Amino acid sequence: MTDTTGMTEQARVREVGRARTRKEDARLVTGQTTWTDNMSAPGLLHVAILRSPMAHARITRVDATPALEREGVVAVFTGRDLAEGLGSLPCAWQVTEDMVLPDHPPLAVDEVRYVGDPVAVVVARDRYAAADALEDVWVDYEPLPPVMDLEAALADGAPLVHAHKGTNHCYTWPLVSGDYESARAAADIVVRRRHHQQRLIPNAMEPRACMVVPVPATGEYTLYSATQIPHILRIMMALTTGIPEQKLRVVAPDVGGGFGSKLQVYGEDAIMLALARALGQPVKWTESRSESYQAQHHGRGQIQDIELAATSDGRLLGMKADILADMGAYLMIITPGVPLLGAFMYPGIYKMDAYDFHCTGVFTTRTPTDAYRGAGRPEATFAIERTMDELAAELGLDPLELRRRNWIRHEEFPFTTVAGLTYDSGNYAAATDRAVALFGYQDLRAEQRARHANADPVRLGIGISTYTEMCGLAPSRILGSLRYAAGGWEAASIRVLATGKVEVITGTSPHGQGHVTAWSQIAADALGVPFEDVEVMHGDTRVAPQGMDTYGSRSLVVGGIAVHEAALKVVAKARKLAAHLLEASEDDLDFADGVFTVRGSPEASKTIQEIAFAAFAAHDMPEGMEPTLNAEHLVDPENFSYPHGTHLCAVEVDTETGAVAIRSYVCVDDVGRVVNPMIVEGQVHGGVAQGIAQALYEEAVYDEAGNLVSGTMADYLVPAAPDLPDLVTDRTETPSTSNPLGVKGVGEAGTIASTPAVVNAIMDALRPLGVHDVRMPCTPERIWRAVRDAAHDKAENSRKGDAS
């Protein structure tokens, strides 16, 4: 760089694109944390919640007297006690006009509808006294029939979850494009498969907690909650409790993971506000893990009937998807909408002429479902990618070749899909070619053939997942057209302080994603200030008054863009002031590395820090300019974000024990331009881990009576370090054309991509043995049984053949 200023300063290295280690870590690795359960307040009372042990029952009597007599117990409240001050918990997504929306009292009043439904709360002086006293709240239940099976629940005469609604049918939502019946009639081949998306428990490592600190004199309340959505929670709590919104402050302190489970407006938040209001004292509740398994929403829970119609050379003509979705007992914040987030993604990356989608929501007497990492899109991606492999097998085509024949080519972008979305950019061939090379695809195929020829009891299987997804929630007008209650914008403000240091205030609410680091990088580049000089603030409605929070891989592509745009506004204001102070025209100013320079007069310059002080002092401002160097920007995205990629998985399946070992896993993801490659890689690692977990390990298991059998962490298999492979990760970079940084979302991509890659690999290993399906999670027992049953069928058929 030519030194034009007389200084020997090096050109600034751009921050965007750098693998910056995280600012967040210092507190986290030293234990200087502010998890909600760490907090206390003078006079704090502790709350424990009594939950229904029955899936479905009428509450005929609650007697809290014995509990009240216990030492340390301050109060006990039943649903009836709190009913007056608390409205129904909100569902923000009335997906159809005729959707059945039952009341959802935060504390059950006269009926319980799932094991874990809260029935009463005990307030005591310490957490042990509160927990002890639960034993002395006596509840009489009159059992009602549980409703556990999605198909049986829809039959005439089925027992009802909400008897007064007269049906377990919540809604049916259609998305029809083109003429599927004609496509089907014209097809040479139609494959029809049923896939089961088991229920999953999100398992963020921090269980939920909330604390409410009231100021009785003024009617103000501060709600500290382990939530992903402090802003949405504030609005919803104002509506549910009647506390005026301006009197309610919501703080999401350090939050230990979410994965959708903390994208929720839980009854406990409302209950705690009601208790603080009733008692005039601070109250805190922290859930135990086992309690969390019943009381936090679950994810997935679908039965998918999928049909693909194609020509004999493997060209897709159409797709039909009929989905039954388990709502659980109540509709929570976006329960009915989760399958809709998937509805647009069933066609995946492929071209076809017709698409016929119907989703029916069904009430059951189980914990409500809602968003879990990917929310609808993992289900959709599994359905298309699993069924594509089945089609390839039936056509005798290599599954990669079938995909190549159908995917949208790079030169066809932007491309409007059969589901009506316009994918802005992508390069599926580039990502696939890279993945194939890293994976050693051809060598593995050769080994697979050899092992098959030798009847090796340990079979090799190769699984493919060429996924895309829609994230970056979301253009507000589209949310409106889908009848979602709110918008999808995001806010950011930037203050350049008198000393030249920078505060970024974001409406996103990170809980592990590294926004403090990434937003610092974005702001530092746009403002030309050092990364270290930027502080990012979030997660407190007093500090960051506007925002739509963090979920749906939206934070960077909406919130990060808001930071970028706010910084550009700051620079624009600074430019005006610099021009004024340098007595130059704005057009004659260059801005680079935080310095305004008059073109042709390099000695005439002002740093942005100098401008910030001048704006603070406000002694000499242009006519009409307001003091201080601040700006705010709200972004409403013009489109969703469409990351994509190719994941390849090789598994070894022991046909004698049913054990699966992942031998290699290659993922090449295209998330557009990357702000921090280290953070992106971390998101991919964690996302893939959760997708593998669905394929191999996890399931929320209920018995026929509606008990959650996998009800503790000892019974539900969250994978540990020995259960997961090392991943080979790489990226291609096809910038998004829908935002100025060219970035795409990454938080959910790994989870969306990986589940079908693993199951496809298992099926690829076992198909030659006559196995056609194994339900997730693909446990050793299920695989062993599938292999045994296939061998039995084969023997049976050959016996019949011999006899005839």
Partner 1 sequence: MATTPMPRASSARIHVNVDGVDHLDEVEPRLLLIHYLRDRLDRTGTPIGCDTGNCGACTVDLDGVSVKSCQVLAVQADGCRVTTIQGLAGPDGAWHPLQKAFHEQHALQCGYCTPGMIMAARDLLRETPDPTPEQVRDALEGNLCRCTGYQNIVRAVLAAAAELRRQGAPEPRGQAADVPQASGQEAPA
Nearer to partner 1, 43 or 242 (CB): 43
According to the 3-state scheme, what is the secondary structure of 602-662?
A: EEEEEEHHHHHHHHHHCCCCCCCCCCCEEEEEEECCCCCECCEEEEEEEEEEECCCCCEEE
Instruction: Work out how close the CB of 614 gets to partner 1 at its nearest, in angstroms, rounded to a whole number.
Output: 38
Stretch that binds partner 1, among 559-567, 621-629, 679-687, 770-778 (CB under 8 A): 679-687
Is residue 451 a contact partner of residue 460, using CB atoms and an 8 Å limit? yes
Among residues 132, 370, 469, 748, the one that binds partner 1 under rule CB under 8 A: 132
Among 24, 220, 398, 773, binds partner 1 (CB under 8 A): 24
Q: Which stretch binds partner 1 (CB under 8 A): 68-76, 79-87, 171-179, 629-637?
A: 68-76
- With CB under 8 A as the contact rule, the residue among 70, 358, 445, 569 that binds partner 1 is 70
C-beta separation of 162 from 102 below 8 A? yes
Give Cα separations from 39 to 213, 226, 487 (angstroms).
11, 12, 32
Applying CB under 8 A, among 3, 9, 110, 128 the residue interacting with partner 1 is 128
- Cβ atoms of 249 and 221 within 8 Å: the answer is yes
Q: How far is the CB of 649 from partner 1 (least distance, A)?
A: 14
Please state the φ and ψ torsions of residue 409, each to the nearest 5 degrees. -80, 155
Quick check: 69 binds partner 1 (CB under 8 A)? yes
Binding to partner 1 in span 179-238, by CB under 8 A: 203-207
Is 141 a residue that touches partner 1 (CB under 8 A)?
Answer: no
Q: Tell me if 42 contacts partner 1 by CB under 8 A.
A: no
- Based on the shown chain and the rule CB under 8 A, indicate whether residue 422 belongs to the binding site for partner 1: no
Please tell me whether residue 61 binds partner 1 under the rule CB under 8 A: no
Asked if residues 759 and 774 have their Cβ atoms less than 8 Å apart, the reply is: yes
Name the residue nearer to partner 1 (CB basis): 38 or 476: 38
Stretch that binds partner 1, among 394-402, 441-449, 712-720, 774-782 (CB under 8 A): 712-720
Cβ-based nearer residue to partner 1, 35 or 784 = 35
Rounded least distance, CB 247 to partner 1, Å: 29
Stretch that binds partner 1, among 420-428, 449-457, 464-472, 720-728 (CB under 8 A): 720-728
585-608: string of b/e by CB count within 10 Å (b at 16+)? Answer: eeeebebebbbbbbeeeeebbbbb
Q: Residues, the chain, total? A: 804
Shortest reach from residue 69's CB to partner 1, in Å: 6
Please give the torsion angle defined by the CA atoms of residues 395, 400, 406 and 409, in that order, rounded to the nearest 10 degrees. Answer: -160
Amino acid found at 168 = N
Rule CB under 8 A: choose which of 282, 514, 528, 560 binds partner 1: 514
Shortest separation between residue 364's beta carbon and partner 1, angstroms: 26
Q: How many CA atoms lie within 13 A of 767 on its CB side?
A: 19
Query: Which of 175, 436, 718, 791 touches partner 1 (CB under 8 A)?
Result: 718
The answer to whether residue 140 forms part of the interface with partner 1 (CB under 8 A) is no
What's the burial of 468, exposed, middle or buried (CB within 10 Å: 0-12/13-18/19+)?
A: buried
Asked if 454 interacts with partner 1 (CB under 8 A), we say no
- Which CB, 513 or 639, lies closer to partner 1? 513
- Of 196 and 289, CB closest to partner 1: 289
Joined together, the tokens standing for residue 302 give 């679908």
Choice between 493 and 754, CB closer to partner 1 = 754
User: Is the N-terminal amide bond of 474 cis, ω within 30° of 0?
Assistant: yes
Per DSSP, the three-state class of 310 is: strand
Asked if residue 411 binds partner 1 (CB under 8 A), the reply is: no
Report the alpha-carbon distance of residue 597 to residue 584 in Å, rounded: 10
The least distance separating partner 1 from the CB of residue 67, rounded to whole angstroms, comes to: 10
DSSP conformation class of 541:
T
* Contact between 689 and partner 1 per CB under 8 A: yes
Could you check whether the bond before residue 777 is cis, i.e. omega within 30 degrees of 0? yes
Nearest distance from C-beta of residue 64 to partner 1, angstroms: 12
In this complex, which beta carbon is closest to partner 1, that of residue 38 or of residue 182? Answer: 38
Q: Examine residue 259 and tell whether it contacts partner 1 (CB under 8 A).
A: yes
285 is a contact residue toward partner 1 (CB under 8 A): no
Chain positions 524 to 583 lying near partner 1, rule: CB under 8 A, are none
| Sheet strands (E) in 253-349 | 283-286, 299-310, 316-328
Count CB atoms within 10 A of the CB of residue 769. 17
User: Are the C-beta atoms of residues 164 and 280 closer than 8 Å to each other?
Assistant: no
Angle at 421 between CA 419 and CA 427, to 5 degrees: 110
Interface residues with partner 1 (CB under 8 A)? 21-22, 24-33, 35, 37-38, 66, 69-71, 126-128, 132, 135-136, 138, 203-207, 254-257, 259, 286, 288-290, 511-514, 678-679, 681-682, 685-690, 712-714, 718, 720-722, 724, 726-727
